[in-house]
Structure 1
């Protein structure tokens, strides 16, 4: 049965890499393993359970709803312009600055593709106008789209928090310094690559490159997307300036303030919020449920126990598997979500048995997945940015390879 499980798992990720529907592939693979293991109901039970998971569903759905409202009210665009316009005044730091700005924006707007579209529309023309090569300009923005690893609304952080019996902000606090340090390392390495390739200056922009000089920032709108994050940080156990507040409540407060202060069309804003909630259930919770079915199948067929026993023999195996397993799948498929969810479902709960904390190991898996996606030529965010810059997505992947691999290594050795 273990051999059959290995074959099914390999086939599953091959199909995901080939762009078959991830949720369908994970669900069918999980049910097949449950069938072979003689416990078909285990897969359906795990699948259904996630749709009523009180620790995940409200968090994920309200974050998506809030993001949709911020996009509809144009608050996200004003925020991006506000914090990125200063970069154009200091060209010498514009490449590492673009990486860090995108990283920070991606914390507030955890969708990689949404963040890429919002930031890229402003920063790519600005970088090209200062003489940065279009491929390097797009690569800088793409490299910053793993900032969502620090977002309380990213699906993995509530998942890991639930596994570890911690609150979301405490989980993020565990790896925030390591991730921020790695982000700086990645930004510096990309800047060095730009210097070596002579892509940091000298490019003559064509006349049809649009700039955003006519954009007039509304500072009230600009602060709206970060309100929930501020509330969560101030109410966290580490800061405790205000009473502790949950992620769903913080997001609802953000939506309410957006409606009150920005005063958009209330009917349309409400519709956008609930559209985001629905998409969160469909796209994110649905994926988590399918991954839960898959990990249940791995458990039933005996593959999880075999994997745990192998990792008990060496901490280094678990360390590298957590960091570079999801990283590799993310780089090949454009999304490391499936690999990170499967790893966290099957392996992370047993982290203590081979010498690691549950929160640390689970966080490493999702960080690796996010970094791997930042060097994938088939990632949605990369494709969007490549189109904006008028280059092939593979050009972005080549430039981001060294920074992402190095960043994953830095987090791995400092976190685990």
Structure 2
């Protein structure tokens, strides 16, 4: 009975989210329904007896309160600091300066599709400092898209490459990376260097090659002629306020601090993500004062940092807590135990369970148009599932996290696809036809690489 109820509720969640309902309240409601049903059917409890409020109804909200408290103080502050820093970098123009400096070496090449493939690799590297897929895509559509089209690449090909530049959320300061590392009980830097980098470095040449041959073949199939043309500047580019090119180093400062003051190099000085972001903002404020000589303007500008903090709390932290509430409901009603037992009795084993979880996350990402929503909903379940299957949680979290961001680039309703297609003047449905083959390659490498490098 519990399985039937959980399936009905899960399909209801997917239906509402695909209908553009706000995912947080949908997940909260679903979690509460599952919790109450689980208790009513005698399938589980919400809180241990020693932590209970004395009322099942109140226990559900006590769980939400405790989850908010723990997430906001630890993981939440990390994510908010990253979001605030990113917002401030956009405000002062440092992100755009970094993109312009990075793509400059490509301008000397005259092989259109080679430049296009190399641009994808550059975009992936930029993703280490610019964590927002849609934000990075907007910057590249303004700066790189005109370059690619002027070399003779079709608008669809250029847009497809840009829309998939952050198909792996692989920065140590990425929200999913932080959540994965914390859930796996690992330091984010060590999780990045030991687990994410090997997969990312394997994915890069594969996807770059897929883009080169796929876009070239599809352009030829569609009758596109590779003829250099002049592309007018977009309105965003015309309104751009120039900043010194030295500003390009500012978005890289926190990443440099996190890597330098870690177990990789200088381990006796303690550095974490929050301090690195605060230091990065402080240094950027000094740069801004030297450039503008206007103390009031510099201090007023810091409001964008605080706005970024609030946006992360409103959009990301609430989504994580909502996802954990939904996951708690699935646990309370007995669904997770049933899935694990079913996998064990059917002979799936740990490897089969990893494939099932990756498939669920990828499918949900495409349908929901979000990588974060499904991953955040299932991430907290992973330690329990992994322990019962006899593998380390990281072996499930790593491919699940990457599967979410890869599949996101194949959904016509996700933000990065909608933004890119709008700015490129192409259909989002035509665009995902161009991204599907490279992302299929990325997904295969993601799964196979996890088994080859880490599964023992």
TM-score range, shorter chain: over 0.9
Whether contact under 8 Å (2:103, 2:119) holds in the other structure is yes
1:128 matched to 2:149? The reply is yes
| Partner SS, residue 132 of structure 1 | coil
- Aligned equivalents of 1:387, 1:286: Cα separation in 2: 28
1:78 matched to 2:97? The reply is yes
Query: What does residue 34 of structure 2 align with?
Result: 33
Q: How does 1:8-407 map to 2 (within 5 A)?
A: 8-38=9-39, 39=46, 40-41=57-58, 43-52=60-69, 53=71, 54-92=73-111, 93-147=114-168, 149-173=169-193, 174-198=195-219, 202-203=226-227, 205=229, 208=232, 210=234, 218-240=244-266, 243-263=269-289, 265-312=297-344, 313-314=347-348, 315-407=350-442
- Aligned equivalents of 1:193, 1:105: Cα separation in 2: 23
- Aligned equivalents of 1:242, 1:129: Cα separation in 2: 50
1:415 matched to 2:434? The reply is no
| Partner SS, residue 183 of structure 1 | helix
- Aligned equivalents of 2:233, 2:150: Cα separation in 1: 8
Q: Note closer, same or farther for the CA distance 1:184–1:218 as it changes in structure 2 (3 Å cut).
A: farther
Report how many aligned residue pairs link the two structures.
415
- Aligned equivalents of 1:76, 1:123: Cα separation in 2: 14
Whether contact under 8 Å (2:412, 2:418) holds in the other structure is yes
Superposed CA RMSD in Å reads 2.2
| Partner SS, residue 146 of structure 2 | helix
* TM-score computed with the length of structure 2 as normaliser: 0.85
State the 1:126 CA deviation: 0.8
Q: Note closer, same or farther for the CA distance 1:237–1:201 as it changes in structure 2 (3 Å cut).
A: farther
Q: Deviations over 1:320-359 (max 9, x none)?
A: 1232221122122220222111221223443133243212
- Aligned equivalents of 1:188, 1:178: Cα separation in 2: 16
| Partner SS, residue 137 of structure 2 | helix
Q: Note closer, same or farther for the CA distance 1:71–1:292 as it changes in structure 2 (3 Å cut).
A: same
| Partner SS, residue 127 of structure 2 | helix
- Aligned equivalents of 2:373, 2:257: Cα separation in 1: 30
- Aligned equivalents of 2:105, 2:242: Cα separation in 1: 14
1:4 matched to 2:5? The reply is yes
- Aligned equivalents of 1:191, 1:340: Cα separation in 2: 30
State the 1:304 CA deviation: 1.3
Q: Note closer, same or farther for the CA distance 1:276–1:95 as it changes in structure 2 (3 Å cut).
A: same
State the 1:378 CA deviation: 1.0
- Aligned equivalents of 1:242, 1:233: Cα separation in 2: 13
- Aligned equivalents of 1:136, 1:296: Cα separation in 2: 43
Runs of 4+ aligned structure 1 residues displaced above 6 Å come to: 211-217
- Aligned equivalents of 1:122, 1:169: Cα separation in 2: 30
| Stretches of structure 1 lacking an aligned partner (at least 5 in a row) | none
Whether contact under 8 Å (2:156, 2:431) holds in the other structure is yes
| Stretches of structure 2 lacking an aligned partner (at least 5 in a row) | 40-45, 47-56, 452-456
- Aligned equivalents of 2:243, 2:227: Cα separation in 1: 28
More divergent stretch after superposition (304-313 vs 329-338): 304-313
More divergent stretch after superposition (264-273 vs 174-183): 264-273
- Aligned equivalents of 1:91, 1:311: Cα separation in 2: 53
State the 1:374 CA deviation: 0.9
- Aligned equivalents of 1:413, 1:126: Cα separation in 2: 35
- Aligned equivalents of 2:336, 2:355: Cα separation in 1: 17
Q: Note closer, same or farther for the CA distance 1:91–1:369 as it changes in structure 2 (3 Å cut).
A: farther
| Partner SS, residue 91 of structure 1 | coil
| Partner SS, residue 51 of structure 1 | helix
Whether contact under 8 Å (2:410, 2:436) holds in the other structure is yes
Greater Rg, structure 1 or structure 2? 2
